[in-house]
Structures are given as C-alpha cells and as structure tokens.
Structure 1
Amino acid sequence: MGTRLTLLATAVILAAALPATAHAADSGTPCPGSATCVDGQLADGTPYTFAKPTRWNGAVLVDLDFAAGGLSSALTASLLRRGYAVGGTTRTITGWNIARAVDNQAAALGRFETAFGRARYAIAEGRSMGGMVAAGVAQVYPGRFDAAVPMCGGLGGAVGQWNQKLDTVFTLKTLLFRGTALPVTGIPADVPGTQQQWISAVTAAQATAAGQARIALAAAIGQLPGWGLAADGSTTAVPDTADGVEQGMFLALAGGPLPYLGQAVSSRRSIEQLAGGNPSWNTGVDYARQLTTAEPSQQNAVRRLYERAGLDLRADLGRLAAAPRVSADPAAVRYLERGIVFTGDLRIPVLTVNGTGDQISTVAQQHSYDALVRRAGNASLLRQTYVRTAGHCTYTTGEQQAAIDRMLTRLRTGRWPDTAPRTMNGLAAAADGGPGRYLPYTPPRFNRMYPAVGRPGCASRDARIGSETDVRPSMSERAGFTCGG
C-alpha cells in the first residue's frame, strides 16, 4: 500500500506541473461573474474545471463530473453564493476505470491548489458513479481530502453492484425469456439494439398476469424499488397496493427516462470490454433466500400477483435454483477489484445521500457500506441520509446543499451536527425555497455484499467466482475480510 500511495503522490505532482488556463471553461460556459475559473487537462487527457468565488470560505468540492456541465448548474450557483469553490473532472476518459477516476480527483485537487492556493477543506463529492468515486477517494486519499459526500453512489462497490444486476437480469431471462437470445452477459456491440430488445420484451411481458408476477419476482430479488418515474420523467405516487408496487418495479426496470435494463446492458458492455470478460457470478446464490430480504411490500406484491396469475411461486423458485449458473472470469473480477472494493477503512468523515426509489444505485447498497464501516470500527465517521424520491439522483438543489453544508459544519467543529430528516429538510427549504424530502429510513440488507462479511453460510471464494482455483487473493481478502460463518 505504501508503494501505491508513493506512486499516486508522484502522479499528482506531475499532473499539477502541467499548464492550466484561468478563463471561461466547461465547453464554452461562461465563468460566473462572482468567481474566477481555471480549466485544463490532466495527464491522461481528462478535462478539469474549477470556479472559486471572490469570497471563498476555504472549502473546495471536487466532483467526477463537474467539467461536463457543472458551471451552469443551479447547485453550482448556490454553492458559489455560499462561498464554496467547486470543480472537478469528467468521466469521458476513465469510464469504468474507477481506480484512475479516483486518482484523477486527487490530481485535479492539485491543479486547483496550484492555481488558488491550498484549500482549508477539500471535499470529494458527486452523484452516481461520481458518488462511488467520492467514496473511493475517502478510502484511498484520506491524506489529501478532508471529507466526502457521496450522493446516489453505488456503495455496494462495483463487484457487488454488478452481481446484483446479474441477479435481476438472470431471473428475468430464466423465468420469462429462457428460449430467446436476450443476453445476460456477453453483451454484443449493438448496445442500443440490445437495450431495445430487452425493454420491448419486458414491456410485452408486463401486459400479462404471468409476466407481471415474474417481473415483480425479478425486481424483488434484485432489490429494485417498487416506485418509479413515469415515461415523461414525472414522479408517480408512492404505491400502497400490490399492483402499484409492481407497476413501480416495471417502471424502474423498463420505463422512465433511465430504465434499469438500459443501464444494465450499456455499462455491462463497457465493463466487459475493459475487464476482458465477465466479472459477475451467481454460483452458490440462493434466490429464495434473497426474496426473503426484499421490502415487505414487495414480498406481498410477489405473493399476490403469483396467486392472481395462477402460478406456483415455489415452483418458479425451484426453476431458478436448478438453472445453470453464471461463473465469472477471475481476471475480470480482479479488474473491478482494482477499481475499488469498499472495506470500511475510513479516516475522514463521510456523509451519504440516497433516494429510496433509485433504480440504478439501489438503496440496499447503503446497507453494505454501513456494515463494512461498522465492521472496521469506524461508525463514528459515517452518517447516512435518505430522500423520498424516485429515479436516479433526482434531488433538489436544496437537498444537495443541505448535505454539503452539514459536512462543512462537521469539518469546522470536529463534531457531527444534527442530520435528522427534520433538520435536513429545514436546511433544504432555506437553500432553495422548496420542501425537503429527507425521511427516516433503514435500508434492507444488501444481498450481494462484497466482500461478504458476517453472512452465515456464504460460499468459499472459489465457489463464488466459478470453478477457477488459481486466483490471486482479492483486495478484500488482503484486507482481512472473509466470508462470515
């Protein structure tokens, strides 16, 4: 680990030595009038952009995606008014190379400090993959960053997250589309065509009682929300009936502006190309057991819809148990492990934000991150918050501002301020005038926790990734995490 940190520090120094320009950036977006902007490229060609307000509070936010439109966002305007410097990179070069994206945040911070001087508080933050990267920064760069605010990030880690997505798609294929060419892994080059095939197939299944029952089962096993966005992006009401929950599951899978199946196809293709194979497996997975950990409303919906369709739920679970399993390519697993495996090793405070109806970064993944942090004895450094919202990263400006302001208070005082929903909603309303939607919430246990800590009866690593036995120790195993028994 010491060698890695030395190499990364050298890379940051070299990157900081490259020239930058202090002018309007962000694809031609003008620098806000009350700020000074700097932009340029990191050593690997990744663009970066920063804006520092005239009255700077000493805090700088570094975001994976800022240079791809951040200067024009309402959140940036709000942050600059409050004295924050804001900026970061894009994912255009790194994509699913998470390790490089994490390193780039430290390199970008170096560029900011070369231009403007050392920040008093450096905070990694971001949404979606940016949330995963921000949490990765907290683990890898506690000496360069002071805190992290990951929002709607895949905090089950890349390995766990893509195993969870495999569960959903595998269940759909096994129970609804067994005789078709719809791919579960090995996504072909025609990604748009494959996405449309999957979405069309699930949409057709939704028109039948049997299809609805099996869609509900697949979504419950994959821990998708039972609440979704309509096709026009509007938020539907939180459902309170079995039909409503199933409709929400369907919208999460194949409806709305960002369907789960679309992302499951496109990102898996990207990952398989980068990793040189399939990094996901379901060997040794008990899907009947996973169903028992779904939200109670989802379990109820599955039972009721199976009864209405005249289907035998136990028989379908038996078909899943008997279906040939998917084994991972060990080299591809190692690729995702090198990106980031969350171990719970925190040295700086982290405040997470997640929507309860997020279909991409499912809320159960927050449980995994919390469990690992507690296992490592670092619970005092973590606070997790939840927002009652459907869709991926669908927060208001005020809700995001509230989380960032709470973290700044934590850094200034050395103690956690109140992050209860009532307080967070008051801060959100003060920031943008709209009502906040923070709520008390306990996420379900993440089914595909990786590394698997404290889970009775989980299989050995050889069984989990397939029949290969000549596998170097994983990052999680080197860190001392093993399957609980």
Structure 2
Amino acid sequence: MTRSIHVRTAFVAITAAALLATGMTAGSAPASASTPTEVSGTLADATPYRFVVPERWNGTVFVELDFAASTSVSGYVEHLLASGAAYGGTTRTVTGWDIAGAIDNQIEALERFEAAVGPATRRIATGTSMGGFVAAGVAQRRPGSIDGVASFCGGLSGAVSQWNQKLDTVYTLSRLLDPDGALPVTGIPADVAGSVSAWRAVLSEAQGTPEGRARIALAAAIGQLPAWAESQPRPSPRDPDAYQAGWYGALAGGGLPYIGQAMSSRRSLETITGGNPSWNLGVDYRAQFAAASKQDRKVVERLYRAAGLSLEEDLGIVDAGERIAADEAAVRQLEQGIEFDGALSVPVLTMSNIGDQISTVAQQDEYGDLVKAAGNGGLLRQIYVESVGHCAFSDAEKVAAVDVLLGRLDSGRWRSTSAATLNRAAEATELGEARFLRFTPDDFTRPYAPAVSPQV
C-alpha cells in the first residue's frame, strides 16, 4: 500500500524530545533492549499519543483511542507485543465526542509513529466503545492509511441514529413516568450528576410498582436495551419479571447505567454541536414498539396485563406528547462524526457483547446491512460474546478476535468465525473466559440516512 505521510511543523520539536527520552532517532528501528521501547508525544491539537514497540518489531502496528491514557498494559496488549506487534494510540481528552477529530488523530499518530520507528507493513485501527466507533470511522474516511480494523463494542449504527434511539427511550420514560416534564430529555443542564440522580430516583420509585415496571419495560423495548443487569444471570423471556428486572438494571443500575450515559454524553454532544442533534417529530411510537423483537413485545404485553394497564392507551400517551425538534446545524455537525455508508476497502472485524447497555447490539444489524447493501459484505465479519456490561470482553476473547483479522490480512480469506472455533482459540490463550455464541441481532429500529433532511 502506498501512503503519503504529512507531518505538521510542530512534530519536529515534539518528536525530538520524545526520541531523546527513549534513546531513539527518527527513522531508526527500536533500540535493542530486554523491554519494549516507548514512543510518545503530543499531536497538533494537544492530544497525547503513545506507542509501545517490542524489541523485535514485526512491522504490524495497532492504533487505539484511549491507549495513551492507560496506566497499565492489559494481557491482550501484552500478547500482541509478545507476538512482535507494536501497540499504541491517543486519548479522547481533547476531542471527546468530536469523532471526526478523533479519526484524524489516529492517522496523525500513525504518521508520527512511522516517522520515529520506520514504515509499518500493517496498520490496524482498533478500540473499544467510542474507540471502536472511531476505528470503524477510520475504515470509511481514511482507508488508504490503514490495512484493517478491529472494532470492539462500537455500536456503529451511526452518530445521529444512535442518539435518536436514546432520545426515544428517555422520551418514552418522560411521558409515562414524568408527565410534568420535570426531568431533562434534551438540553441537559450543567449539573449532569443531579440530572442522573433525579432520573434514577424516579426509575427506582417506578420499579416498586407493577405499573411502573410495565412502563419501564415499554421504554426499554422501544430503545432496544438488553434485558440483562450486571452481576445477574442472563434472564429468560419466559420469566417476564426477571426479564424486566434485567431491563431496569441496564437502564438504571450498575456502574454505568444507560440513563447516566443518556445524560452525560448528550450534554457533551450538545456542547460540541452547539445544539440538540436529536428529534422525534414524525416518529410513530406504536410502530416503534411493533418493530421491537417478538420476545420483547410479549414480555411487555404480559407485564401490562399483570399491572392492569392498557398498553394501547400508554402508547397513545407517548404518541400524543409534545415532540422534540432538532437543531439542523447540530445534526449536520454530528453527521460528520460519522454516519456509516457501508463503503469499505479494507477488512473490518467487529465484536460486540450482547448485554451491552451502552453500545446496544442491535446497532450491529444496521452496520452490517449498510455494508452488504454497498456490496462489501466480503470485507466484514461480525462476532458476538455472551456477556453483560459495557464492552465486557476478556483478554482471551480480544486476542481470538484480532487473530481472525490478522489471518484475513495474511491469507486474503476469512477463517471460520463460528462460536466453537472462536472459543477454542480463546481458551488456548489462557487469558480469560471464552464466551462466543452464535447470534443474530434484532433489526435496528431507528435508522437514519444523511441524505434525508431531519425533522426540525
């Protein structure tokens, strides 16, 4: 692959300082040592970057959002370093939800790495959560600068669509549990912690009654949340009470509840975009519920019957509420963050855990559909892990996933991604649990096409 490297003027002083600290000179191979060499510095926008280079570097380099902020090296990264790959990346400290800026930073960091260490033979964008989103964005926006992508728990329906769906969830809760509109849905105030605390109090109170539990379930089904709470077994839809408790746990429990991220990250988005980038004008919530999975609908219907409530009446209440308009300029800016269009020219592997309450797994359906519609299905593999929590992967599972991508780059063909094959590979690493499963995500119910003007 031919690449042109554009190095900004500020790079000279930064690189010199970094290389003096590491005993390296620009363009040299890593110094011979019993421990890996580090290359670090600061990008043009003041974002830190850091790479760890093994003594016998094999030419492969991974770049990840958040790596430069880490204080330790995981077993997964240690495994890759031991195999000869270099590993590094940036942080989100400057860019935050400026996904476009974070995408560009990954490439600038790679350029600085190569200027210091030498040309790489394989450049792989990777990351978890927002990092997985950014890595997939690199594949679409800067494909000539990388050779492959390993995206972990990135969501990937697109920036606008995922936040429209989060709006649907919180809007439904607002209409049914906070009819006076005392709690924020958009326009999140600076006291984010106060908003989260107030929402959790309302949800906790509702969870104490059959009526409240039914209404929480309806909002969760519309938002396609996993019905699985952290520190609890995965519930069966044949047990509606346990299933609903799983929804409540995903929504309001655990260390990173859905409602918390719906407040904190929306506040960040509204600050970055200068307005509200989400809307529900024209959304038919009866249709949204009808589009939910059959098992989710059945659980909600049983809970409504047990509570003596009319599901049809509550859907009418949601549909009759005052709708929320978006600021079109904010939508257009968030689109740049990125909206995926299925355009791939390098292999992409995605891994999601089915109980992720933040990067909900149905978004993978939308990403896969877009890639297939663009005729690029052969470049994509999507695999799934049976675990609960945000980005809940073992080191073993991450190693097994990356090995699939490396095999594709080596041979030009995908090896088997059956659950049995992946579990054997993960178990062989002795780095943790192996929980791959055969899984098909539900159809994503809030897709967005940038070519279509938003309702504002």
TM-score (ref. length: structure 2)? 0.93
Give the letter for the 2:124 counterpart. I
> Deviation per CA, 1:73-132, whole angstroms, max 9, x where unpaired?
222212212222100000000001110000000000011111111111100000000000
Residue pairs, 1:103-252, within 5 angstroms: 103-229=104-230, 234-240=231-237, 241-252=239-250
User: What is the CA–CA distance in structure 1 between the aligned matches of 2:13 and 2:411, rounded to whole Å?
Assistant: 36
SS at match of 1:257: coil
> Deviation per CA, 1:338-357, whole angstroms, max 9, x where unpaired?
11111111010100000111
Distance 1:192 1:435, change over 3 A: closer
Q: In structure 2, what is the equivalent of residue 260 of structure 1?
A: 258
Q: In structure 1, what is the equivalent of residue 14 of structure 2?
A: 19
Q: Answer whether contact 1:70 1:76 (CA < 8 A) is retained.
A: no
Q: In structure 1, what is the equivalent of residue 68 of structure 2?
A: 67
User: What is the CA–CA distance in structure 2 between the aligned matches of 1:153 and 1:141, rounded to whole Å?
Assistant: 18
Q: 1:399 aligns with which of 397, 400, 406?
A: 397
SS at match of 1:90: coil
Give the deviation of 1:432 after TM superposition: 2.5
Give the deviation of 1:11 after TM superposition: 5.9
Q: Answer whether contact 1:239 1:248 (CA < 8 A) is retained.
A: no
Q: Answer whether contact 1:424 1:438 (CA < 8 A) is retained.
A: yes
SS at match of 1:465: coil
Give the deviation of 1:10 after TM superposition: 7.7
User: What is the CA–CA distance in structure 2 between the aligned matches of 1:289 and 1:82, rounded to whole Å?
Assistant: 51
SS at match of 1:143: helix
User: What is the CA–CA distance in structure 1 between the aligned matches of 2:181 and 2:319, rounded to whole Å?
Assistant: 20
Give the deviation of 1:55 after TM superposition: 2.4
Q: Answer whether contact 1:18 1:43 (CA < 8 A) is retained.
A: no
User: What is the CA–CA distance in structure 2 between the aligned matches of 1:357 and 1:47, rounded to whole Å?
Assistant: 32
Give the letter for the 2:43 counterpart. L
Give the letter for the 1:110 counterpart. E
Greater shift in the superposed pair: 292-301 or 325-334? 292-301
Residue pairs, 1:311-350, within 5 angstroms: 311-350=309-348
Aligned residues: 440
Give the deviation of 1:433 after TM superposition: 4.8
User: What is the CA–CA distance in structure 2 between the aligned matches of 1:400 and 1:46, rounded to whole Å?
Assistant: 26
Greater shift in the superposed pair: 248-257 or 433-442? 433-442
SS at match of 1:346: coil
Give the deviation of 1:192 after TM superposition: 0.8
Distance 1:140 1:360, change over 3 A: same
User: What is the CA–CA distance in structure 2 between the aligned matches of 1:207 and 1:353, rounded to whole Å?
Assistant: 36
Q: Answer whether contact 2:157 2:364 (CA < 8 A) is retained.
A: yes
SS at match of 1:199: helix
Distance 1:33 1:215, change over 3 A: farther
Give the deviation of 1:70 after TM superposition: 6.1
Q: Answer whether contact 2:394 2:431 (CA < 8 A) is retained.
A: no
Give the letter for the 2:346 counterpart. I
Give the deviation of 1:15 after TM superposition: 6.2
SS at match of 1:106: helix
Q: In structure 2, what is the equivalent of residue 483 of structure 1?
A: none
> Deviation per CA, 1:114-157, whole angstroms, max 9, x where unpaired?
11111111000000000000000001111110000110002011
Q: Answer whether contact 1:15 1:111 (CA < 8 A) is retained.
A: no
Q: In structure 2, what is the equivalent of residue 102 of structure 1?
A: 103
Q: Answer whether contact 2:394 2:433 (CA < 8 A) is retained.
A: no
Greater shift in the superposed pair: 216-225 or 279-288? 279-288
Q: Answer whether contact 1:272 1:279 (CA < 8 A) is retained.
A: yes
Q: Answer whether contact 1:276 1:332 (CA < 8 A) is retained.
A: yes
Distance 1:431 1:12, change over 3 A: farther
Q: Answer whether contact 1:245 1:297 (CA < 8 A) is retained.
A: no
Give the letter for the 2:437 counterpart. L
Give the letter for the 1:342 counterpart. F
Q: In structure 2, what is the equivalent of residue 465 of structure 1?
A: 455
Distance 1:16 1:419, change over 3 A: farther
Distance 1:13 1:212, change over 3 A: same
User: What is the CA–CA distance in structure 2 between the aligned matches of 1:371 and 1:185, rounded to whole Å?
Assistant: 29
Q: Answer whether contact 1:359 1:392 (CA < 8 A) is retained.
A: yes
Q: In structure 1, what is the equivalent of residue 298 of structure 2?
A: 300
Give the deviation of 1:296 after TM superposition: 2.8
Q: In structure 1, what is the equivalent of residue 383 of structure 2?
A: 385
* Structure 1 residues not aligned, in runs of 5+: 1-7, 25-31, 453-459, 467-485
* Structure 2 residues not aligned, in runs of 5+: 23-32
Give the letter for the 1:295 counterpart. S
Q: Alignment identity in percent?
A: 52
Give the deviation of 1:180 after TM superposition: 4.0
User: What is the CA–CA distance in structure 2 between the aligned matches of 1:422 and 1:70, rounded to whole Å?
Assistant: 34
Root-mean-square deviation over aligned CA pairs: 1.8
SS at match of 1:48: strand
Q: In structure 1, what is the equivalent of residue 280 of structure 2?
A: 282
> Deviation per CA, 1:310-341, whole angstroms, max 9, x where unpaired?
00001111111211211100000011011111
> Deviation per CA, 1:39-91, whole angstroms, max 9, x where unpaired?
11001100001001122232111001101116432222122122221000000
User: What is the CA–CA distance in structure 2 between the aligned matches of 1:311 and 1:361, rounded to whole Å?
Assistant: 31
User: What is the CA–CA distance in structure 2 between the aligned matches of 1:15 and 1:334, rounded to whole Å?
Assistant: 31
Greater shift in the superposed pair: 417-426 or 92-101? 417-426
Give the letter for the 1:169 counterpart. V
Distance 1:315 1:370, change over 3 A: same
SS at match of 2:143: coil
1:55 lines up with 2:56 in the alignment: yes
Give the letter for the 2:236 counterpart. P
Q: Answer whether contact 1:124 1:134 (CA < 8 A) is retained.
A: yes
Greater shift in the superposed pair: 239-248 or 44-53? 239-248
User: What is the CA–CA distance in structure 2 between the aligned matches of 1:18 and 1:208, rounded to whole Å?
Assistant: 63
Give the letter for the 1:238 counterpart. P
Q: In structure 2, what is the equivalent of residue 471 of structure 1?
A: none
SS at match of 2:225: coil
